[in-house]
Structure formats: C-alpha cells, structure tokens
C-alpha cells in the first residue's frame, strides 16, 4: 500500500500553558477530500499551521509526498506542491485579478526568463488564463481585486493557491461569509477541483462538510475526538454532544 500524500504523526504544540494541539495524527490518501471540524479553539488552525510550516511542532512530524517537511518554511513547502487558501483573503487589493494570479504562477516557475516583461512570459500567462477559466473568474481578469464581491475575492484567493499547481490544497473555511448561492457555487467548485487535487479543509457549515467530505476528523480541546465517514460522524454520540447538537 502506497504512503498517503500527507502523513502527520503525533503532532503536539503548546503556547505557554495552553496545549493547542495534543498528539494529533492524520493520514490523507491522495485524491481524497478530508475535512477537519471542531468548536472554536479546538486546534484546527494550529494544526493547519503545523502542517504548512507556519508553526513548528513541539513534537511529532509531518511527511508530504514521501518527504519529511516538519517545520519547513511554507515557501519551501509550497514549492513541493502544498498550497493553502486562507480564511481571510490574502489578495493584493490594488492589482487586477489577472495580476494577482500571475504573480503566484510566476513564483511557482522553476526557471525564470530575465530582461522580459512578466506578462510576456508565455507559459506563465497561459497558466494564469487557464486557472482563471477553471475558477470562473476569466470575465473579471481586468477587475481590481478590491472591487470584487466577497465571494469572488474568496475565489481569487483560491485561484492564487491553484496557480502554484499543488498536489495538496488546504482550504481554511472556503465558504465563510458567503451567501447560500455563493456557498453552493463554491461547494461545486471544490468538488470539481478534487478530481485533480487532494483537498484538506476546515469548514464550519456542517451541511457542506457532510455533503462533500470523504472522511472527517473531529477535534476537541486540541485532541482528536473522532474520525470517520460523514455518516459515522453525524451519528457519533460524543461528537453530537460537543459540536453537532443543533447543527444537523
């Protein structure tokens, strides 16, 4: 059996006297859509930061695509094929949609062509156009990012992550603040993207998680409370007690 694309073993992280993550392990098979849920303060964001290298674990290790990336800076992790789309958009507000994605696409290139304008580097331009088409923002390519709707800014943030051609995409509450219509469109997009890229996501909207996730990990007070298929999570008494009561 091949090694999962992401393997986190015994991750631990304390901040002062607070144990934010305590002995959490994950196995994410390639091609899957895995979700992490839990109440506020359960350790979800810290776990993401341990995986991406934004925070170094106190104990444990992270392997991505067969390589140990424990504590490796995110800039290096991203070059290996792991990308993250943030809960709070990280777009350049005064640049156009196209320019935002082109910068990410160019940064991901392993070879650079000097003494030529960036917008004339054909492979970068072509890749940028393909990402915008796939994400549904091609018609907004010349729009200044700050003029986009909230939903389209979240899509642009996702496009920036996709421009790096990741094998694993981490999504931090991709539907946060969206209307029901925007949420439905984003769920459809995430399902389509999952055909080509493994996805690990944090999401608070339980109807979203239960409809698209292959497997769900439930965190509570920094520890793994339960992990299973959506139907198992939905029916688990302890999960209902600490998190799902009133949400289903």
Lowest mean pLDDT across 26-30, 89-93, 186-190: 89-93
Q: What percent of the chain has pLDDT over 90?
A: 69
Residue 227 in tokens: 């992990």
Cα angle 137, 80, 125 (rounded to 5 degrees) comes to 35
Q: Would you list the domain boundaries of the chain?
A: 1-76+204-248
Whether the predicted pLDDT of 150 surpasses 80 = yes
Residue 162 has pLDDT above 60, yes or no: yes
> Rounded to an integer, what distance in angstroms lies between the CA atom of residue 215 and that of residue 220?
17
Nearest to 218 by CA among 194, 198, 241, 190: 241
d(CA 62, CA 170): 14
Q: What is the pLDDT of residue 135?
A: 94
CA–CA distance, 99 with 93 (Å, rounded to integer): 11
pLDDT digits (tens, 9 = 90+) for 39-79: 888 999 999 999 999 999 999 999 999 999 998 988 888 88
Q: Taking CA 224 as the corner, what is the angle to CA 204 and CA 11, rounded to the nearest 5 degrees?
A: 110
**Which range among 15-29, 109-123, 215-229 shows the weakest confidence by mean pLDDT?**
109-123
- Average pLDDT of the residues in 16-21: 88
* Cα–Cα distance measured from residue 214 to residue 170, given in angstroms and rounded to the nearest whole number: 15
What are the distances in angstroms from CA 33 to CA 43, 84, 148? 20, 14, 28
Going by DSSP bridges, is the β-strand pair 33-37/198-202 parallel, antiparallel, or unpaired?
A: parallel
Distance CA(177)–CA(151), nearest Å, equals 8
The helix/strand count (H/E) of the chain reads as 9, 10
pLDDT mean across residues, the chain: 89
Q: Is pLDDT above 60 for 165?
A: yes
What DSSP character marks residue 116?
S
The pair of three-digit structure tokens given for residue 42, joined into one six-digit string:
């359960």
pLDDT of residue 90: 72
Compute the C-alpha angle 215/63/78, nearest 5°: 95
Q: What is the mean pLDDT of residues 152-174?
A: 93
* Dist CA 241 CA 186 (whole Å): 29
- Is it true that domain 1-76+204-248 has CATH number 3.30.365.10? no
pLDDT at 169 over 90: yes
* Lowest mean per-residue pLDDT among 100-114, 120-134, 167-181: 100-114
- pLDDT, average across residues 120-125: 81
pLDDT tens per residue across span 194-224: 999 999 999 888 889 999 999 999 999 999 9
**Quick check: 153 pLDDT over 80?**
yes
Q: CB neighbours of 94 closer than 8 A, spacing ≥ 6?
A: 144, 145, 146
Measured CA to CA, the distance from residue 46 to residue 67 in angstroms comes to 21
Question: For residue 110, what pLDDT is reported?
Answer: 54
Yes or no: say if 228 and 216 are a contact pair by the CB < 8 Å rule: yes
Nearest to 154 by CA among 172, 180, 167, 133: 172
């Amino acid at each position: 059996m091949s090694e999962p694309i992401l393997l986190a073993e015994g991750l631990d992280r304390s901040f002062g006297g607070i144990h934010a993550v305590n002995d959490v392990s994950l196995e994410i098979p390639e091609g899957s859509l895995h979700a992490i849920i839990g109440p506020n303060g359960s350790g979800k964001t810290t776990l993401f930061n341990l995986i991406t290298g934004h925070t170094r674990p106190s104990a444990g290790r992270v392997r991505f695509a067969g390589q140990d990336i424990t504590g490796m800076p995110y800039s290096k992790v991203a070059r290996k094929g792991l990308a993250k789309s943030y809960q709070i958009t990280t777009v350049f507000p005064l640049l156009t949609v196209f320019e935002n994605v082109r910068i990410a696409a160019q940064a991901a290139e392993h070879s650079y062509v000097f003494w030529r304008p960036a917008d004339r580097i054909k492979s970068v331009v072509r890749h940028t156009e393909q990402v915008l088409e796939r994400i549904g923002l091609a018609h907004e390519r010349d729009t200044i990012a700050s003029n986009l709707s909230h939903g389209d800014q979240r899509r642009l943030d996702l496009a920036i992550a996709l421009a790096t051609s990741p094998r694993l995409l981490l999504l931090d509450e991709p539907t946060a603040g969206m209307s029901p219509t925007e949420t439905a469109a984003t769920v459809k997009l995430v399902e389509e993207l999952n055909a080509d890229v493994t996805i690990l996501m944090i999401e608070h909207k339980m109807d979203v998680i239960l409809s698209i996730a292959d497997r769900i990990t439930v965190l509570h007070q920094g520890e793994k409370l339960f992990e299973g298929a959506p139907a198992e999570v939905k029916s688990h008494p302890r999960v209902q007690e600490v998190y799902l009561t009133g949400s289903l």
